[in-house]
Structure 1
Amino acid sequence: MLEEEYDRDRRRLPRHLRKAPPPEPAFSYEIRPVQAADIPDIREIYNYYVTNSVVTFDEKKWTIAQWRDKAAFLEKRKLPFLVAQSPSGQILGYALVQPMSSKSAYRFSVENSIYLGHAAAGKGLGRALLEALIAACEQAGIREIVAVVSDKGAEASVALHEKLGFVEVGRMGRVGFKFGRWLGTIYLQKHLKPVKKSRLFGR
């Protein structure tokens, strides 16, 4: 029997006799620190946003070498860099923090970044990653975490940060230009409660 014939016959049955469609597999993942093998997937996730959105102000795709350098930079400074991995080994998204500035007085403050692959959008992974990142930052002795978000196309990111206790502290207008239009930034900040003394930046 052809598939369309089967579907037609199924629709003719009384509703209580129809077989329910098979349930979709549960969305599951593990959040863990980044590993070297994750870099190609991370690059692909990020580069999609570089070429298709204004949520990042980067205009050129990142290379694997650039991502390896970034991961090494964050590891040296003991700053969290997390990934969400599916049971099949696919990297679904990542979250990291980096120094707000190279000036040493900023050593207890960081800027965060979270990006999800298409397969993970709208399933609560963004929140799970941000919660895990906040906890990792508190373990690392970080006191302030700041999100710098585009004022166009990133409404979901703003809402997520606010749900987890970030407060808008300022805006800058027309500071970026991408895809032929001017863009601004929204600054959100959250005060953390470190669980131990920090040794960030060798201090």
Structure 2
Amino acid sequence: MSKLLIRPSAATDLPAITAIYADAVLHGTGTFELEAPDAAEMARRRDDILAKGLPWLVAERGQQVLGYAYANHFRPRRAYRFCLEDSIYLRPDARGLGLGRLLLAELVARCEALGARQMLAVIGDSANAGSIGLHAALGFEHTGLLKSAGWKFERWLDVVLMQRGLGAGDSLAAANGVA
């Protein structure tokens, strides 16, 4: 079996990234998006993340992208600049193999190195045991529940909020440069 590689994404990964996300949109409740974006839109989203100096990673085995993860600012206002939200998506055949844990651990490490102080998980669907368990295993704590916040697949879905301090967390130690 080929070695697993977690690496920064490249433009050549966009077809795989687009397909992975399309599957999540069309068949899953982890995202509340209802129509799968095309490759041009996914490229725009990736470019936006990278332009902010934030990580967008892929998990690759045998030159096949199995999943991806990225961090973005939780909200656009400048006061939120140290608070990031993670997103992780895996191909259906790559779920349950520990790849999400490897991607999230690397994403957390890279965000800490950038000076981020908090990471949030905004998890679609309170029945999303895989994502909730993954985040809990990496030190995220349950911080809230938005009941019936989304309507998808003819049913109401909750949003689970989880949070993890990064680096100095909420201490008053000097905050450095997350853009």
TM-score range, shorter chain: over 0.9
The AA in structure 2 aligned to 1:73 is D
Q: CA deviation at 1:120?
A: 1.4
The equivalent of 1:162 in structure 2 is 136
The AA in structure 1 aligned to 2:59 is A
CA deviations 1:10-68 (Å, max 9, x no partner) are xxxxxxxxxxxxxxxx3631000010000110000010010111111000111111111
Unmatched segments (≥5 aa) in structure 1: 1-25
Distance 1:111 1:137, change over 3 A: same
- SS of 1:200's equivalent in the other structure is coil
2:178 aligned with 1:200? yes
The equivalent of 1:43 in structure 2 is 18
Q: CA deviation at 1:199?
A: 2.5
Q: Separation in 2 of the partners of 1:171 and 1:56?
A: 15
Q: Between 117-126 and 140-149, report the one with greater CA deviation.
A: 117-126
* RMSD (Å) for aligned C-alpha atoms: 1.5
The equivalent of 1:147 in structure 2 is 121
The equivalent of 2:73 in structure 1 is 99
Corresponding residue pairs, total: 174
Q: Does the CA-based 8 Å contact 2:29-2:125 persist in structure 1?
A: no
The AA in structure 1 aligned to 2:152 is K
The AA in structure 2 aligned to 1:168 is H
Q: Does the CA-based 8 Å contact 2:149-2:157 persist in structure 1?
A: yes
Q: Report percent identity of matched pairs.
A: 37
CA deviations 1:69-93 (Å, max 9, x no partner) are 1111111111111001112x11000
Equivalences for residues 1-203 of structure 1 within 5 A: 26=1, 28-87=3-62, 89-193=63-167, 198-201=176-179
Segments ≥4 residues shifted beyond 6 Å:
none
Q: Between 126-135 and 146-155, report the one with greater CA deviation.
A: 146-155
Q: Separation in 2 of the partners of 1:27 and 1:191?
A: 34
Q: Does the CA-based 8 Å contact 1:54-1:152 persist in structure 2?
A: no
TM-score (norm 2): 0.92
- SS of 2:34's equivalent in the other structure is coil
Greater strand content: 2
CA deviations 1:134-188 (Å, max 9, x no partner) are 1011111111000011234411110111111000001110110011101111100
**Larger Rg computed on CA atoms:** 1
Unmatched segments (≥5 aa) in structure 2: 169-173
